[in-house]
Amino acid sequence: MSDVSTLPTTERVVAPQAASLWQTIVVLFKLRIVTLLLLAAMGGAFLAAGGIPAAGDLLLLLITGGAAAAGASALNQFLERERDAAMRRTNKRPLAAGVLRRPTLILAIGLGLITAAVLVSLPVNPWLAIHLGLGALIYVGVYTIWLKPRSITNIVIGGAAGSCAVLAGGAAAGNWMDPGVLALAGLIFTWTPMHFWSLALLYRDDYVVTGVPMLPVYTSAIVAARWVLAHGVVTALIAMYMAVHPTLGWIYFIPTVAATVWMMHSGITFLRRPERREALDFFKASNLYLAIVLLLVCGAAMI
């Protein structure tokens, strides 16, 4: 039986049970990642407000931020549909697998979501609109189109897209240049490469086949693990430094230290044994670590 991922896009036949509408939406718009980005944006908003932001500001942030992030994700999958089809990790995405047979419609939806997010927020909060547009531009234009197929630094620079989510949150609350907001944006920037490089090591063969210059393709597993851990150390230091922000303090610091020790233990284990299982364990640990830090930021700000 032929593997559907090896067939040309126009020849794929998808069984009715291949994916539900909801599953397709979740994958196409990367709603799990969008949720994490919105949590990061909320962290920026809580820090900028020095507490709980105004309900209207949060609502505008969630609606426009969610639309911009979902639109950028759709554009990413439109642009990478052929490469996605060649990779085990991504060959079941809706466009890559042929579940959605009108790629240009997805292009229009992605552009429409980003445009709507910017236009809705622009007259109300220009800085919010700027950071939403900048985040989409970095993710789609700088990362997906320019750097990903060309440079080993692709995900390093691409991490700035996530930082823009934090800055958008700060802008929504009226103070995106707050030191805590800038520190959290820096944390996202340093977290992104360590998170993605561990996943790239897990799927190294995919990147070799598609010719994408990810770090684990050009270095040994041990060297890649060292870079992952180095970014993990910087991320951890920023996370603990943020406790000096008057909104956070000890309520944030103590559980963050505990989470950091756990995350670094996973990173050291990965460094000692840079193999597939350990790479997956650290990928999961880094994901959970960021969620914990962001929840602690929001929680401490509400107390």
Per-residue pLDDT of the chain (303 residues; tens, 9 = 90+): 333 333 333 333 343 344 488 999 999 999 999 999 999 999 999 999 999 999 999 999 999 999 999 999 999 999 999 999 999 999 999 999 998 989 999 999 999 999 999 999 999 999 999 999 999 999 999 999 999 999 999 999 999 999 999 999 999 999 999 999 999 999 999 999 999 999 999 999 999 999 999 999 999 999 999 999 999 999 999 999 999 999 999 999 999 999 999 999 999 999 999 999 999 999 999 999 999 999 999 999 998
What was the pLDDT predicted at 275?
93
CA angle, 5 as apex, 16 and 14 as ends, to 5°? 10
Give the span between the Cα atoms of 125 and 68, in whole angstroms: 15
Take residue 91 and report the two structure tokens written for it: 């060959």
Give residue 32's pLDDT: 94
Question: Could you tell me the two tokens for 44?
Answer: 């920026």
pLDDT given at position 171? 98
Cα–Cα distance between 140 and 164 in angstroms, integer?
13
Inter-residue contact 96 to 157 (CB < 8 Å): no
∠ at Cα 236 (250, 76), nearest 5°?
A: 120
CB 199 within 8 A of CB 279: yes
How far apart are alpha carbons 195 and 37 in whole angstroms? 14
pLDDT for the residue numbered 303: 86
pLDDT of residue 278: 95
Listed residue (87, 277, 125) closest to 201, CA to CA: 277
Q: What is the pTM of this model?
A: 0.91
pLDDT at 160: 97
Tell me what pLDDT residue 15 has.
Answer: 38
